[in-house]
Amino acid sequence: MSGPVRRRLREAAGTLRLTASSQKAVRQRNASAWLLPEDGARFDHRLIEHMRRFDDTEEVDLVVVGCGAGGATLTQRMAHAGWSVVCLEAGPFWDPDTHWVSDEAGSHHLYWTEPRVISGTDPVPMGSNNSGRGVGGSTVHFAGFVPRLHPSDFSTRSDDGVGADWPIRYEDLRPSYERIEQELPVAGQYWPWGDPHAYPHAPHPVGGNGEILLRGADALGLNARVGPVAITNGRFGNRPHCIYRGFCLQGCKVNAKASTLITHVPDALAHGAEIRTEAMAVAVETDPQGRRALGVRYLRNGREHLQRARTVAVAAYSIETPRLLLNSANRRFPDGLCNDHDQVGRHLMVQGAPQTAGRFAEEIRAYKAPPPEVSCEDFYETDPAADFKRGYAIQTVSPLPITWAEHVAAQGHWGHDLRRYMQDYVHWATLGALCELLPLPGNRVTLSGQKDRHGLPVADIAYSQCDNDRAVVRAARATMERLLRAAGATEVITIERYAHLVGGCRMAARPEDGVVDGDLRSFAVPNLLITDGSVLPTQGSANPALTIMALVDRAAERLVAGARGGPPERGRP
């Protein structure tokens, strides 16, 4: 047998092993999908009615700020391990049946729209692809692409002389990636890039947009694969199959696309966690010497409360997490909690996400099927021949009319010109790149002079690109235009965008270089963890949700083990 044939057989065997394996272990670890109703409703309201409720004065084992990708995963893991957990969420407990609509403008309430200020030479407009609000956080409206980071992402400083090395390796995270991929679950073809791996669900059929990317890649001799998406392809517990409705970014009314509301919250509630909604965190409280976190002060129904806890975890997103630490300044930490080394809020990252659309004589109708369909990671790694370090990934994106109008208007079209262009909607296929922009110390969250409704200073987000950033975005754009033309596009138009904020409280080997260690424990306050995307030292070209959940899965495992082994030691790597 030739090498390629052997490789394909190995891939097929790996896929078969994973897709045909029993779900018993998954269900034992996290029964969320089996705790959803079977009667067509999308959430079992009895779980909320019967939710355990703690008193503020009761010192719980853990209080978590934020119920998104990181916060909900930690809440589930620790409740499952027997800890008493309260998760504070600023937004509501969503009911997919009544609160979510199959409509773009009607989904505005899914996003975090409290005021923020954006500055720098390349300011980052916060679109709907950024943070969320309510139980599930941004996983409610993320597209659902869940690629892993590549092994090379963990050592870009050593290998490429850019970015930062992580205090952990890819291998440390692999078992967590595998566990989370089974729990979401992820559908896709065998993944040939990075650390090659199979997915638990088969790839979805593709719509017109995905077909175009596959066609273009084929014509250019590039690799493209269907997936990886956190969308069920087949039944999983009581979650049904995807119906290819195309409104993934508006909250999945089907329960096919994963959000932590349905993948981790049900099991957390069944294990006695309390998710306290409409609770806006104000500050993390410490003892007078700043040696231990005592709990979290928060506003609810107009009153301030303090939830006491033996351990505190902050998972409020890359902007609100640094903001909360900066707003938690006290005598011991005059410049913000955990900010002894001026690291809080720094090295904020966002992926360059240029979007290129191509015009086809055929009808593409990109609004059908989930926007996340097909990816290409051929340009992910550093290319020694290129004039930049690191790289980019290319994925399908399928703008609905309002988003598409922004794309067209950004070309300068308005008036009759805009209306004519918009009527051509069904003929366009759209690709998006995720470009690895480098972590820079000047890209940071600080407190602005402006205050929000609660009287809390709002975040100022300064962002400026470096030459490497501009070069990688340029290259990605050129590749997308080439792909679309190879697929038969007669015209291509590109707009500049950003996606996916991470960093701002990065993990590091030493306190001088970051805010938390590899277990997500803050260097300054041993019983304070940060469990969201703000801990990422680099971002790769992957959508961050899976990595956030995997990091939290690993941190939770260490936290559970540590509890058995006594109080945590300081200064571990």
Partner 1 sequence: MRGQRPPAGHRVPSGESGRRYPHFDVLDQVPDWDPATAATVVGRLARQPDLRFFTPAEEATAGALFDRLLAQDGPPGAPKVPVLQMVDARLAEAQTDGWRYADMPEDGDAWRTTLAALDEDAAEQHGAASFADLAPERQKELIRAVQDLHGKAWHGLPAQHVWSLWTRYACTAFYAHPWAWNEIGFPGPAYPRGYQRLGVGLREPFEAADADPVDPTGGRGTG
> Hey, which residues between 484 and 513 contact partner 1 (CB under 8 A)?
490-494
β strands within 397-520, DSSP E: 428-435, 444-451, 457-462, 491-495, 498-502
User: Is 348:463 a contact under the CB 8 Å cutoff?
Assistant: yes
116 binds partner 1 (CB under 8 A): yes
* Residues of span 50-79 touching partner 1 by CB under 8 A: none
CB of 206 to partner 1, least distance (A): 7
CB of 225 or CB of 264, closer to partner 1: 225
Q: Which tokens go with 351?
A: 């992926």
* Residues of span 457-476 touching partner 1 by CB under 8 A: 460-461
User: Is 208:225 a contact under the CB 8 Å cutoff?
Assistant: no
Q: Are strands 498-502 and 293-300 parallel, antiparallel or unpaired?
A: unpaired
CB of 224 to partner 1, least distance (A): 15
231-244: burial string, b at 16+ Cβ within 10 Å, e else: bbbeebbbbbebee
CB of 127 to partner 1, least distance (A): 7
* Residues of span 123-182 touching partner 1 by CB under 8 A: 123, 125-127
Stretch that binds partner 1, among 3-11, 57-65, 238-246, 558-566 (CB under 8 A): 238-246
452 binds partner 1 (CB under 8 A): no
- DSSP conformation letters of 5-47: HHHHHHHHHHHHHHHTS-SHHHHHH--GGGSS-SSS-SS-HHH
Say if residue 228 is preceded by a cis peptide, omega within 30 of 0: yes
CB of 510 to partner 1, least distance (A): 33
Applying CB under 8 A, among 291, 420, 570, 572 the residue interacting with partner 1 is 420
CB of 22 or CB of 121, closer to partner 1: 121
* Residues of span 217-236 touching partner 1 by CB under 8 A: none
* Residues of span 357-386 touching partner 1 by CB under 8 A: 359-365, 367-369
Applying CB under 8 A, among 481, 519, 532, 553 the residue interacting with partner 1 is 481
519: CB partners within 8 A, 6+ apart: 529, 554, 555, 558, 559, 572
Applying CB under 8 A, among 82, 205, 441, 442 the residue interacting with partner 1 is 205
Q: Which tokens go with 541?
A: 């070209």
- 405, 40, 101: which is closest to 245 by C-alpha? 101
Applying CB under 8 A, among 45, 46, 419, 510 the residue interacting with partner 1 is 419
* Single-letter residue type at 34: W
CB of 395 to partner 1, least distance (A): 17
Stretch that binds partner 1, among 16-24, 52-60, 201-209, 337-345 (CB under 8 A): 201-209
CB of 414 to partner 1, least distance (A): 5
Report the distance separating Cα 62 and Cα 274, nearest Å. Answer: 11
Per-residue x/- track, 318-337, partner 1 (CB under 8 A) = --------------------
Compute the Cα dihedral for 54, 57, 58, 60 and give only its sign: positive
